Structure 1
């Protein structure tokens, strides 16, 4: 059993908060300069918050989507039973359209729709209570998933190690400890001394703005580097382990994560550094056989043409801005899950662990 009283991460601000049946999301686009929480008044606001990356990280997006469906439905309790169920399905589909790559969003929304469809009492008010309970269950389950990944991944981190991570897969991306950062928080609570190198993660700087801030707040020794410094830092023998998160894992173990992750995996493979991916079972997509079938979100090119508030590219410049890339399973030393570390061959081991 994990003693959370020793986890300094417990004091971190939460990405998603559900209190008195109101949804509050931390606006992560303002970090680290400002810590601002926004009450979500409408489903349109929730959709925009997810799309604009005010809330981000696959587990947090799933939790926000589940609560977002409640925001959409709470003013529709006087509809007929049939019309209310139509709204459940329509609003779930609307929220699911906000971001395509993270599997948790669609997973959570489908789970709520199915729960409503299977309920005995179909009256809108009764269905709404069923959906509230299910959304809260998803939130609590994610806390336990994070703790499980932390417990199983912490033994990988040894005294004096250097650990590199890319993007943000910590408390800000989930309900509590995070995915990739969970083993770090658990190792810290066990008195293990180690250092973390955080890639800045262009173009939206989630590593610089979020991961470095989060780890600094928790007291973990963290050093921020630009993305193109990773190879040099590895070549100096400063990195012993890489742990990243993921937005979707295909049935064969291919991993979709923030753009730049595949490059880190290739570098780690070249330098003989183990590359691990932390993923809760909710992020494993058995309906997608291979990574090539994962939809990759393409974002506005202005994100590439700007740094901060300043334009850094010529007017009219053509851009590409894929938000994610897919790391082949051959580069993954193991998947850190709440049930333990899963290793190749992933088609067999993932199915046996989570479908057997």
Structure 2
């Protein structure tokens, strides 16, 4: 599918969401149904978008932010006219902000939409302006992913130009972004450059984003992969032939600490112990300079049913459950952070401050 309006047009093999111009609806690929069925969910207002985010129809920090931006635009289009646009749309913005607590791209996108709302509140075409901004946010994310993919692949090539074995966790691909991906964007670009022998895909319990989503994306593009249970990662890394662990991020604190899917912290420790390099790939919209360190990042805890029940069938007896969605990887375990503004080796507070002061690299 081709996307983009006003910027370069990009053809995407995997499209997680798009704006249906004819129906004035946001269309979301229902990621709960993958890989067995490709079903689309139409959202007509902010409440439906918030529910889709909360219920994991759409997931991944960049994609959540894009969907929320469209949600604000949908609400404005549904109202068509208001004597007080900020007051009319604030409940929708609040509802979207409450849908997921950890992914900072959600709040970043809503902040941009809120600023545009205040700036153009007296304009008769405010709904169309908000829609255009949502589309711009969507397109900018795709452009950022393409840039990060190229930068990450070049970095991999600088270390070794032979085909390599890589490992990734959760899904940081096209499905988690506007299309193309962060961690999988690097892997896509590396594969195109002949740098990938095999991608080890962690299954990523309990939602199995690795086995359901990442594997689905890689199989569609004939990128060689091997699926493994999460607890096999250390065993595979010990063999010494995995050169890079490549992951995305849901929020990055000002000192470089990274919140990502639960299990990422353990992978970073294992990678350092076994000599594999650890790469985090994320747009600068994921960096939260208002939070000093990872301890300040709110960690979402999801329902116990996700561990106790599978496809409606009990896996065990009722009991207390710990089900955090994310963990925090300290910056000193991260070899490199790849963003659309450039690469940061061994990220820390000073290097992230310098990064955020740059203009975009491309």
TM-score, with length taken from structure 2: 0.91
The whole-number CA distance in structure 1 between the counterparts of 2:218 and 2:313 is 27
Q: Structure 1 CA distance, aligned partners of 2:342 and 2:110?
A: 26
2:131 and 2:312 map into 1 onto residues whose CA distance is 39
CA positional deviation for 1:340: 2.1
Separation in 2, partners of 1:175, 1:336: 17
Per-residue deviation, 1:79: 2.4
- In structure 2, the residue matched to 1:72 is 75
Return the structure number with greater relative CO, CA threshold 8 A, min gap 6: 1
Any gaps of 5 or more consecutive residues in structure 2? 1-9
DSSP-derived class of the 1:287 partner: coil
> In structure 2, what is the Cα distance between the partners aligned to 1:159 and 1:223?
19
Rounded Cα–Cα distance in structure 1 between residues aligned with 2:268 and 2:246? 10
Give the structure 1 partner of residue 340 of structure 2. Answer: 338
**1:35 is paired with a residue of what secondary structure?**
coil
Q: How much does 1:11 deviate?
A: 4.7
Report the Cα distance in structure 1 between the residues aligned to 2:357 and 2:293, rounded to whole angstroms.
Answer: 17
Aligned 8 A contact 1:262 1:325 in 2: yes
What's the CA shift for 1:127? Answer: 1.5
C-alpha distance in 1 between matches for 2:348 and 2:192: 31
Query: Normalising to structure 1: TM-score of the pair?
Result: 0.93
Runs ≥4 residues deviating over 3 A: none
Instruction: Please give the per-residue CA displacement for 1:276-335, whole angstroms capped at 9, x wherever unaligned.
Output: 1001011010011100000000100110112344311212x1101110000000100010
Q: 1:154 maps to what in 2? A: 153
Superposed displacement of residue 87, structure 1 = 2.0
Indicate whether 1:108 and 2:103 are aligned. no
Secondary structure at 1:29 match in 2: coil
Gap regions ≥5 residues in structure 1: 1-8
Please tell me the root mean square deviation across aligned C-alpha atoms, in Å: 1.5
In structure 2, relative to structure 1, the CA distance for the partners of 1:269 and 1:192 (3 Å cut) is closer
For the structure 1 residues 320 and 194, does the alpha-carbon distance in structure 2 shift closer, same or farther, using more than 3 Å as the test?
A: same
* 2:83 pairs with 1:90: no
| C-alpha distance in structure 2 between counterparts of 1:41 and 1:68, whole Å | 8
Deviations 1:45-101 (A, max 9, x none): 211110011100000000000001122222212321x2x221222211110100000
**Structure 1: distance between partners of 2:64 and 2:79:** 23
**1:56 and 2:59 are equivalent in the alignment:** yes
